[in-house]
Chain A
Amino acid sequence: MPTTQENWNPGKKQDRHPEVSYEEKEKLFLEVKNDPRYEDFLYGCYECGICVSTCPSARFYDYSPRVIAQAMAREDVERVYDIISEDIWNCAQCFSCVRCPRQNNPGGLVTLLREVAVKNGLQETKDVLQGYSRVIYKVMLKGNQVSPDMLQPDFFPDWGPWVQNFSANMPVWRKAIPVDTLRGVTDAAWKTNRKTLLELYTIWFETGNMEIIKEIDEGLHDLLADVMQEELEEG
């Protein structure tokens, strides 16, 4: 729900998500709190606002790392649910907020909240990540976050007309790079050998990462699982 003048509710007295039971909200809160990393990320809050003053997202969104630290510390289950369903995807993950004099890591808390949101397949999270699936496909399958062939004018129109030169000249420009592992490679950032990719696929399966993908995008999971399993069977 976007924040407007009418529904602005800084004290969060109203239940903004009555469609979700308190028990469900509490379950998600406890998943975050019981993560082994939680105690490394939150020590309390002075309410000094240093994290907010350095936060890029706080300048452009209705977003506050201080509120996140406070809501978690107060164990305000309802407010934490607001955060997990609305706020967390605004964070830029720059970790400027670790300037906290209390040694808190609000960016780290956001990471834990995001993990729980993804793992539980929250609809708001699915919506946010919808346009991002092709990147997940690339990084899990190729072992690279981005590749040269992603530089297409329709994907980056705001980067200016020069982007057309990237896509128009891609094969030959990539051959004109002296680095051996980059030269001529267009579908990945660099050449990765097959054994290494099989090891990466093993990590995804062994750590439960594939189950996480299934929760957020079943179609993407099935596609990835098919390709990886086939490759692993071939050995």
Chain B
Amino acid sequence: MTTTVEEILERKSHAVTRDPEIAPTHDIRESLFELEAKGEIVVQRVPENHVEVKTKFGRTKKIPIDHTWHHKSCGQCGHIPGYTSSIFWLHRQFNLDYLDPTDQTSCTGWNYYASATSNAAAQAAVMSRNFAAAHETGYFPMIHCGTSYGHYKEIREQLVHHKGLRDEVRRILDKLGKPLVIPEELVHYSEWVHVMRNKFAEKQTVDMSMIRATVHPACHYYKIVAEDAIYDPDIYGGQRTATVTGTLEALGIDVADYSTWFDCCGFGFRHVLVQRDFTRSFSTLRKIEVMKNEVNPDLTVTHDTGCVTTLDKSQFSAKAHDRNVGIPVLSDAQVAALAMGAHPFRVVQFHWHSTDWRPFLDKLGINWQKYWDEFQGDLEAIRAGTKSGITWEDADKPVVY
């Protein structure tokens, strides 16, 4: 039977609610519990304080609210630290119990996708060591990086399906004195942001209703092991992932659609570090310029390390070529924090971003110069040695704009 374009468009005009009973994939969590029953692995349970959401095929996923072990992101912590500080700041505004560990390593997935200078056993052992470290504390892993999240989902599949790999990883973990732990759910921080969005809106002090934003959904969040991403019939009719968009809408932002939403950002892993001609071209010609031409947003928002970096940093050279660019780039966590009064420099750390963010803050009515001057005072005190650094004591209190 031939399907016409009209039929497809008609079908897509209805919200989709999916039935998990007819999901095209096996629920991997059932396999985890079977392996646990055989004594092969330990499954760390989601803490009691959690919210249930629906994923792509209608299954239920538990998102922990607190008692979380924060698996930080290399690119966020290294190059855009306001991303990380905003995630923690949001937790602190609700007095939620969390752990910021020093016994966590990178997932090393960025390097693996960039250079392949590793193998399946090493990648699985790195993941399992991190999860065992979280399990030792009793806190549940919350993964900040989209690539770590996607990479770990893929490794979880491999560990479940290949006994030889499980045996090899257990042999290595034995040497470290750790068990093979896999959490009941793999949770990305943007899923926590998503389930907290209405709480954020209740504490919102900055009106964002005049802001138009575009959303770049992160590939490794919803394309790798696609069934684990959050979908909601009320957001894009349940036909795209709901994270980020749901958060922005809850904060009153007008989310505008654009034609290349499915395209990646152009990060490329190796490309962004040593072959940036591709990264610059793709991110500006296929993403930023398309957004600009089609909807001219005040801001674009995403939920992964590489996407924020690529979309933000690539715009300078495109501007030098007179391309139609110039959209500030933030993460969902930074936007939510700003909406609740986080200091633009002590917390959101705008100064690590490159594309001009000042027009965005001007439109919000935030006198960024005043807060920049205040931040300069902090820096002077640090330089003079009268202050060791900015602490949560300095940063916790929301600003009243």
Contact = CB atoms under 8 A, between A and B. Distances in A.
Interface of A: 35-37, 40, 54, 56-57, 59-61, 89, 92-96, 98-99, 108, 111, 114-115, 117-119, 128-129, 131-132, 135-136, 139, 143-148, 150-151, 156, 158-160, 162-163, 165-166, 169, 172-184, 188-193, 195-197, 199-200, 202-204, 206-209, 212-213, 216
A88 to B, nearest CB: 8
Given A96-B223, A136-B111, A158-B317, A202 B175 contact: yes
Given A89-B270, A200-B126, A145 B72 contact: no
A115 B120 CA distance: 10
With most chain A CB atoms within 10 A of its CB, the pick from B102, B106, B378 is B106
Interface in B70-120: 72-79, 81, 84-85, 88-89, 100-106, 108, 110-120
Contact of A118 (B113, B115, B274): B115
26 contacts: A59-B286, A92-B267, A95-B219, A118-B116, A132-B115, A139-B106, A139-B110, A145-B74, A145-B106, A145-B111, A146-B74, A146-B110, A172-B382, A177-B81, A178-B391, A180-B100, A181-B102, A182-B77, A182-B81, A189-B76, A193-B102, A196-B104, A206-B125, A212-B117, A212-B118, A212-B119
Given A196-B104, A203-B172, 8 more contacts: A37-B162, A60-B281, A119-B119, A135-B111, A135-B115, A144-B78, A158-B280, A206-B171
A136 B116 contact: no
Nearest to B102: A193
Interface stretch (B205-213, B258-266, B358-366): B258-266
A206 B85 CA distance: 35
B43 interface: no
Contact of A203 (B129, B133, B220): B129
Interface stretch (B45-53, B244-252, B348-356): B348-356
B278 A60 contact: yes
A183 to B, nearest CB: 5
At the interface, is chain A mostly helix, strand, loop or mixed?
Answer: helix
Contact of B78 (A94, A146, A172, A184): A146
A115 B119 contact: yes
B77 A189 contact: yes
B117 A118 contact: yes
Contacts of A60: 278, 281-282
B316 A92 contact: no
B366 to A, nearest CB: 19
Q: Which of B280, B281, B316 has the most CB of A within 10 A?
A: B316
Given A145-B110, A175-B388, A96 B219 contact: yes
Contact of A94 (B88, B172, B223, B351): B223
Given A95-B219, A139-B111, A212-B118, A54 B262 contact: yes
B316 A158 contact: yes
Contacts of B394: 178
A118 B176 CA distance: 27
Contact of B389 (A136, A176, A207): A176
Interface residues of B, number: 95
Nearest to B101: A181
Contacts of B104: 190, 192, 196
Contacts of A196: 102-105, 133
A114 B223 contact: no
A42 B189 CA distance: 31
B380 to A, nearest CB: 9
Given A177-B390, A207-B172, A150 B78 contact: yes
| Most chain B CB atoms below 10 A, which of A146, A197, A202 | A146
A175 B384 CA distance: 13
Closest 8 CB pairs of A and B: A114-B116, A160-B316, A143-B105, A94-B264, A175-B389, A189-B78, A189-B77, A145-B74
Nearest to B264: A94
A54 B108 CA distance: 26
B375 interface: yes
Contacts of B378: 176
B149 interface: no
Given A54-B262, A178-B346, A92 B77 contact: no
Nearest to B263: A56
A182 B390 CA distance: 11
A53 B394 CA distance: 49
